[in-house]
Amino acid sequence: MDVNIAVLIDGDNIPSAYIKEMMEEIAKYGNPTIKRIYGDWTNPRLGKWKNVLLENAITPIQQYGYTSGKNATDSAMIIDAMDILYSGKVNGFCIVSSDSDFTRLATRLREAGMQVIGMGEKKTPNPFIVACDRFIYIEILKAQTEEILGTSPNKDTSKSNIDKVTPKDIRLISSTIEDVADDDGWAFLGDVGSLLQKRHPNFDSRNYGFQKLTPLIGSISNFEVERREDSRGRKKLIYVKVKEQKSAKPQRK
């Protein structure tokens, strides 16, 4: 079944420079049948957005700031999201914002059985991140494009990528593998990835400079990676295991 997604963009706090990468990423999860961006289009600050809306078939929604200090854009997005929810025309939502005010909206949409993808900058508060099924940092999308095109300022990223993995990350991956492993300690990588995503919606191998989970785990000495053929021998299945820690030998007196 095709997944129809409503894309709602908070134009007040998302830079237009990321639009191409955002739309390409959203297409991985479904068909963006509704695409709207909210803001006060009389404000010159949103001028850069106007140049890319037609290219990406995004409908601008005018929202005046009625009261100083109040964000009318948030209210308009929330009202539209609920209208779209009850229309029954979509299976999921992509909320593009770095604003924690959308935390309750994401929670409510998930309660209604909707898949909710969040996108925003790394400054996004954690409550909004964990309210989504998946949260993607838009900075890594731009960095990914630069790496593919060979325009990244840091061409030799192998060491820096590994340096990004903290002991906390290793503990998270280890506990996740152990929770879905068989009696021999091996876990199917697909199950590991799914559980990681449920526990931490913003967990993404690209945050560490790796396009996929397999090379990320393979770069960490704490884990073993094994490729097995499926029962029909048509494809390779990836399994991972936490390496056993060698205990120190007792010293002789």
Q: Express each pLDDT in 113-143 by its tens digit.
A: 999 999 999 999 999 999 999 999 999 987 7
Residue with the bigger pLDDT between 88 and 142: it is 88
**Which contacts qualify for 104-113: CB closer than 8 Å, 24 or more apart?**
104/131, 105/77, 105/78, 105/81, 106/131, 106/132, 107/131, 108/82, 109/81, 109/85, 112/85
What structural domains does the chain harbor?
Answer: 4-148 (3.40.50.1010), 158-242 (3.30.420.610)
User: What percent of the chain clears pLDDT 70, i.e. is strictly above it?
Assistant: 85
Phi, psi of 36 (to 5 degrees): -135, 145
Average pLDDT over residues 101-120: 96
Give 8-23 as a DSSP string. Answer: EEETTTS-GGGHHHHH
Q: Quick check: 234 pLDDT over 80?
A: no
Per-residue pLDDT reduced to its tens digit, 151-189 = 555 544 444 455 688 999 999 999 999 999 999 999 999
Per-residue pLDDT reduced to its tens digit, 21-31 = 999 999 999 99
User: Cα(6)–Cα(112) distance, rounded to whole angstroms?
Assistant: 15
Residue 211 per-residue DSSP state: S
pLDDT at 70: 46
pLDDT at 107: 97
User: Cα(74)–Cα(97) distance, rounded to whole angstroms?
Assistant: 10
Tell me the sheet residues that pair with 60: 37
pLDDT at 158: 47
Q: How confident is the model at residue 253 (pLDDT cuts 50, 70, 90)?
A: very low
Residue in 201, 200, 177 with CA at minimum distance from that of residue 188 = 177
pLDDT at 69: 43
Q: What is the largest CA-CA distance in the chain?
A: 82
pLDDT at 137: 95
pLDDT at 144: 66
Residue in 192, 190, 196 with CA at minimum distance from that of residue 242 = 192
pLDDT at 92: 96
Residue with the bigger pLDDT between 169 and 149: it is 169
pLDDT at 152: 53
pLDDT at 35: 97
Instruction: Let me know how long the chain is.
Output: 253
What are the angstrom distances between the C-alpha of 80 and each of 38, 89, 101, 202, 244? 10, 13, 15, 25, 52
| Cβ pair 75, 99 in contact under 8 A | no
Residue 225 per-residue DSSP state: E
Q: Quick check: 91 pLDDT over 70?
A: yes
Per DSSP, which regions of the chain are E strands?
A: 4-10, 31-39, 59-62, 92-96, 115-120, 134-137, 186-188, 223-229, 236-242
pLDDT at 248: 47
Residue with tokens 């914002």: 97
pTM of the model: 0.82
Per-residue pLDDT reduced to its tens digit, 16-71 = 999 999 999 999 999 999 999 998 888 888 888 888 998 899 999 988 765 444 46
What mean pLDDT, rounded, does the chain reach? 86
Listed range (21-25, 102-106, 147-151, 220-224) with the worst mean pLDDT: 147-151
